Amino acid sequence: MHLKGSVAVVTGAASGIGEALVERFSVEGAVAVVAADRDVVGVEALAARLAGGPTVVEAVGCDVSEEAAVRDLVDGTVDRHGRLDLMVSNAGYVTVGGLEAPDEELRRMFDVHVMAHLYAARYAIPHMVANGGGHLLNTSSAAGLLTQIGSLHYSITKNSAVSLAEWISITYGDLGIGVSVLCPQAVDTNITANSPTAELIPGAGPSGAASVDGVLTAAELADTVVEALADGRFHVLPHPDVAEYVRRKGDDVDRWLAGMRRFQQRLFTDSPMPADWLLS
């Protein structure tokens, strides 16, 4: 997947990873990038900032948890630009909690982290196949390949996002549909500040666990995305250590689980939050 001359859609584009991808796709020579987000003011500011360049950047309000909104986003892009080459389903958020967390919280997160990817594929793939091919980039997390200490719902939904991307790749790859799944660890964005449970996140909670191999800027992550798309890679791993962790998990899952338990204990031993906070 090469970005020069392409038409792309990016959801969750008002800030963080989505914003950085819109900026980088513009630099790479995309013809048009549709920046979509519930935060209409944010994507409008992004489009205004990038106005006047060679890439048309459009701001569209979209709640990706609503199927009709994703359908209209995809169909509207094709109506205005004639095609859709790259669909980036990126919107997401994090919460803290375990078995006690409300079921409705899990359902809401599943809508954003899984169903939104499904809707994007459902409506983008027919257009792409008719046009000879296209590419889906779904944002998951290293947690989707491993797990997220401190967040049951994030772990479940991000793992589901990876599984969905694998299924789409297998099912539609022979029809010219490329699929990539973005699985970073910690990135310097506002995902923690925007969490519905931000007040529960300790210094060594989920964000601390993810930052063990360093915190990337969103622009640095965008570099890896562009390289991975050009190579046609399924796993997009801005933190290279994740590949080794996945290998270890596959080689001996019992040893990996034991290691994760030790890692969790170290995190909460060093944190001011009591070790039994997950059970509260």
Domain-located, residue 269: yes
Domain-located, residue 41: yes
Domain-located, residue 2: no
Integer Cα distance of 215 and 210 in angstroms: 8
Domain-located, residue 23: yes
Domain-located, residue 1: no
Domain-located, residue 97: yes
In the chain, count of helices (H) and strands (E)?
A: 11, 7
Domain of 64 in residue numbering reads as 7-279
93 is a catalytic site residue: no
Domain-located, residue 117: yes
Catalytic residue (one of 119, 123, 154, 172) = 154
CATH number of 108's domain: 3.40.50.720
**pLDDT tens string for the chain (280 positions)?**
899 999 999 999 999 999 999 999 999 999 999 999 999 999 999 999 999 989 999 999 999 999 999 999 999 999 999 999 999 999 999 998 999 999 999 999 999 999 999 999 999 999 999 999 999 999 999 999 999 999 999 999 999 999 999 999 999 999 999 999 999 998 987 655 554 544 445 444 444 555 566 889 999 999 999 999 999 999 999 999 999 999 999 999 999 999 999 999 888 775 544 444 444 3
Integer Cα distance of 189 and 211 in angstroms: 12
Count of domains observed in the chain: 1
